[in-house]
């Protein structure tokens, strides 16, 4: 899929900065699609996954119970967001750099988040999907520790 090839190209550019780069999708289905269609993601699944669903302190889907990116402190990520088909309003970088649905619990996950713009995927000359990409630099240890604590307190995290 062309949109996922774009995420690989962006990932390579960010990796040129000298840190490992992984991919975060804001929907579990998108995380699954990227893992399946991106050859390097498919190859990495058995060792250390390359693609993750965005972390959450509460279970929203099966990805909550799988190992997340908490061990990737200091690394960078590409955040992939699929725009709504009816109202394709872009997401703000400030929303990407926070985590959780409760505004009181949202903490910056990365030191810096840069909007890389949107890309359209065409199918037979028609726009089929729109994706927005963000470069997220330097995953913060304190933010990830807060995530782990929330999972442990909720009784849902791995013990």
Category of 21 on φ-ψ map: left (φ > 0), alpha (ψ -120 to 50) or beta:
beta
Average pLDDT over residues 17-42: 87
Structural domain contains residue 159: no
pLDDT score of 31 more than 70 = yes
pLDDT score of 91 more than 60 = yes
Structural domain contains residue 61: yes
pLDDT tens digits along 125-143 = 988 889 999 899 999 876 5
- Domain span holding position 63: 2-154
Structural domain contains residue 16: yes
Structural domain contains residue 13: yes
Report how many domains make up the chain. Answer: 1
* % of the chain with per-residue pLDDT over 90: 8
Structural domain contains residue 129: yes
Instruction: Please report, to the nearest 10 degrees, the dihedral formed by the alpha carbons of residues 17, 94, 96, 109 taken in order.
Output: 70
pLDDT tens digits along 34-77 = 888 888 887 777 778 889 988 777 778 777 777 788 889 999 99
């Amino acid at each position: 899929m062309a949109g996922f090839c774009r995420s690989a190209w962006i990932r390579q550019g960010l990796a040129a900065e000298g840190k490992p780069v992984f991919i975060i999708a804001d929907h579990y289905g998108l995380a699954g699609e990227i893992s399946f269609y991106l050859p390097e993601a498919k190859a990495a699944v058995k060792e250390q996954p390359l693609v993750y669903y965005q972390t959450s302190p509460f279970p929203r889907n099966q990805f909550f119970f799988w190992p997340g990116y908490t061990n990737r402190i200091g690394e960078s990520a590409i955040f992939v967001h699929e725009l709504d088909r009816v109202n394709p309003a872009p997401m703000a970088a400030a929303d990407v750099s926070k985590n959780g649905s409760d505004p009181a619990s949202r903490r910056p996950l990365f030191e810096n988040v840069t909007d890389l713009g949107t890309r359209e995927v065409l199918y037979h000359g028609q726009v089929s999907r729109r994706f927005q990409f963000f470069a997220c630099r330097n995953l913060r240890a304190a933010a990830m520790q807060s995530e782990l604590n929330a999972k442990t307190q909720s009784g849902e995290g791995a013990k």
